Structure 1
């Protein structure tokens, strides 16, 4: 993390969205604390400030931002509003009725897409979405998130040609928690 503005965001996020207590991950691992993205998304001022800061992480050649359901959706909408880049919305599974789409929003074929999500842990979900977009003809080489937890995600994404660009790492958030408590 760099910059005073990002340090202030770490404190605000720690105060708003850090919850102590056991939290079970999809793979069965249990964390001592977790990041409640819904608390972050529910605060319009914080969400805007996060998006404005995250906008600096977007490579200049990105043409579409793609938010992963559910945590990436408020972020991608706000990032789209801040940057003027179109937003696409990614479902984990294709819709079972209506359009039956997995990608909603603008056409992504041939467009350079950056993935957007709230937290990256193992990187499995980001990788699955990148693969789906690549099959749809969209080059994906960047992923943005608010928080990177050190559970192997960066390494997995890197092995598949995807650069992870987090706003904060878990260490940054822990430092923000310490500053918020003082």
Structure 2
């Protein structure tokens, strides 16, 4: 494994792995928790992740679609360094005001590359892909910081969406051994 990826994985783990008592989404109590927002709120660590995302962005990308909430800071910084405009993709369209699902540029007939922080099941990417395609966007790729899926994000099966990740579960696991 590349030293740069190993060092990044170690830095993210040091920053994000918390010890204590935590209630997980499943309702189970755990003594360890991975707080992904800690790497996204650290400017130096966020920049390191984004620098490694740049070559993963497909050449035909018209818009970067930052998924609510974790994909927004990544997409914003990625937009800054690539010059590709970004849109912020909500989990569901607002019920008031513009009533938009994606805030920013119009996504119709545009190649939108989704940007996500962590993919575990792929459910949020699936939902955003379907919703954006209903608005005539072309969605074929997602770029993520960490792909923690063990089954290739089964929720994306059959959607024709490729995952391009900076770090994977295997890289993280091998770094932490």
Distance 1:76 1:63 in 2: 13
Map of 1:10 onto structure 2:
9
- Which aligned pairs between 1:119-138 and structure 2 lie closer than 5 A? 119-138=118-137
Please report the TM-score for the alignment, with normalisation by the length of structure 2: 0.89
Please report the TM-score for the alignment, with normalisation by the length of structure 1: 0.86
Q: Does residue 1:35 correspond to 2:34, yes or no? A: yes
Return the offset for 1:3: 2.8
- Segments of 5+ residues of structure 2 without an aligned counterpart are none
Map of 1:24 onto structure 2:
24
Map of 2:53 onto structure 1:
54
- Segments of 5+ residues of structure 1 without an aligned counterpart are none
Number of aligned residue pairs: give it: 175
Higher relative contact order (CA 8 A, sep 6+): 1
Q: Residues 7-31 of structure 1: CA distance to partner in whole angstroms, max 9, x if unpaired?
A: 2211111111123566634xx3869
- Which aligned pairs between 1:1-182 and structure 2 lie closer than 5 A? 3-19=2-18, 24-25=24-25, 28=26, 33-178=32-177
Return the offset for 1:41: 1.4
Q: Residues 120-144 of structure 1: CA distance to partner in whole angstroms, max 9, x if unpaired?
A: 1111110000001111111100011
Alpha carbons of structure 1 residues 112 and 75: separation in structure 2 relative to 1, 3 Å: same
